[in-house]
């Protein structure tokens, strides 16, 4: 997982570094296009700068997708294989009805964006004898019962899915 995070950061840095070269070379290419199509003198297409930018952006997207899918699977596996003894904390307060929270979190799924954004953050920790799972939920700006689920352990793209539930209305 750490290797993929490093790959994401490097690909992001490469794409940002390639962007000015892409813009300058693209501008030169467009500026040197002849007004008359009969003229055969043309500047070469900026293959190198376009390629470096597109390859870096592609690597970034692939690595982010892999990290997101892996993190979602890891969180869901933890939730589905919880031992009998576990404790759930929401905003550092122990929850009395932890089964409702766990059943809601088991519904984490990828979701298409719909021009909204997360607002208030809710921190959820599930403690077992084996390990602790920490998630952050961001209440959706349009639908107050929809929550964006974030996995703080991953770097750039830490949203692993969404849930729709009334279990967190009190928080």
Q: Give the pLDDT confidence score for residue 36 in this predicted structure.
A: 63
Kindly list the distances between the CA atom of residue 165 and the CA atoms of 37, 71, 94, 107, in Å, as whole numbers in the listed order.
Answer: 61, 21, 19, 9
Predicted local distance difference test score (pLDDT) of residue 156: 54
Q: Establish if 98 belongs to a structural domain.
A: yes
Q: Range of 69's domain?
A: 2-164
Q: Within a domain: residue 169?
A: no
| Total number of residues shown for the chain | 171
Domain assignment present for 171: no
Quick one: pLDDT at residue 47? 83
Structurally, the chain folds into a number of domains equal to: 1
Amino acid 97: pLDDT: 82
Does residue 74 sit within a domain?
yes
In a domain, 170, yes or no: no
Whether residue 63 lies inside any domain: the answer is yes
Low-confidence ranges of the chain (pLDDT < 70): 1, 33-43, 113, 155-157
Per cent of the chain over pLDDT 90 is 1
Alpha-carbon distance of 131 to 62, in angstroms, equals 29
Per-residue confidence (pLDDT) for residue 27, from 0 to 100: 85
Q: Which of 62, 64, 59 is nearest to 157 (CA)?
A: 64
With beta carbons less than 8 A apart as the criterion, state whether 148 and 124 touch.
no
Q: What is the pLDDT of residue 115?
A: 75
Find the Cα–Cα–Cα–Cα dihedral 149, 154, 158, 163, rounded to 10°: -20
Supply the pLDDT for residue 138: 85
Q: What is the DSSP string of 64-100?
A: HHHHHHHHHHHHHHHHHT--S-EEEEETTEE-S-HHH
* 50-98 pLDDT tens trace: 888 899 889 888 888 888 888 889 889 988 988 888 888 988 888 888 8
Q: Tokens 């766990």 label which residue?
A: 102
Q: Is 127 in contact with 72 (CB distance < 8 Å)?
A: no
Q: What is the pLDDT, as a whole number, of residue 40? A: 57
Q: Residue 95 falls within a domain, yes or no?
A: yes
Query: Is 151 a member of any domain?
Result: yes
Q: What angle do CA 8, 122, 66 make, to 5 degrees?
A: 25
């Amino acid at each position: 997982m750490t290797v993929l995070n490093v790959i994401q950061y490097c690909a992001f840095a490469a794409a940002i570094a390639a962007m000015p070269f892409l813009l300058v070379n693209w501008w030169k290419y467009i500026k040197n296009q002849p007004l008359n199509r009969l003229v055969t003198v043309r500047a070469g297409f900026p293959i190198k700068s376009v390629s470096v930018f597109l390859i870096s952006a592609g690597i970034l997207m692939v690595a982010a997708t892999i990290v997101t899918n892996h993190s979602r699977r890891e969180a869901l596996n933890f939730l589905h294989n919880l031992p009998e003894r576990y404790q759930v904390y929401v905003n550092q307060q122990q929850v009395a009805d932890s089964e409702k929270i766990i059943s809601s979190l088991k519904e984490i799924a990828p979701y298409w964006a719909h021009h909204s954004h997360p607002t208030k953050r809710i921190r959820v920790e599930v403690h077992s004898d084996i390990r602790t799972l920490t998630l952050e939920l961001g209440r959706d700006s349009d639908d107050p019962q929809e929550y964006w689920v974030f996995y703080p352990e991953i770097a750039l793209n830490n949203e692993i899915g969404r849930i729709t539930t009334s279990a967190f209305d009190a928080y």
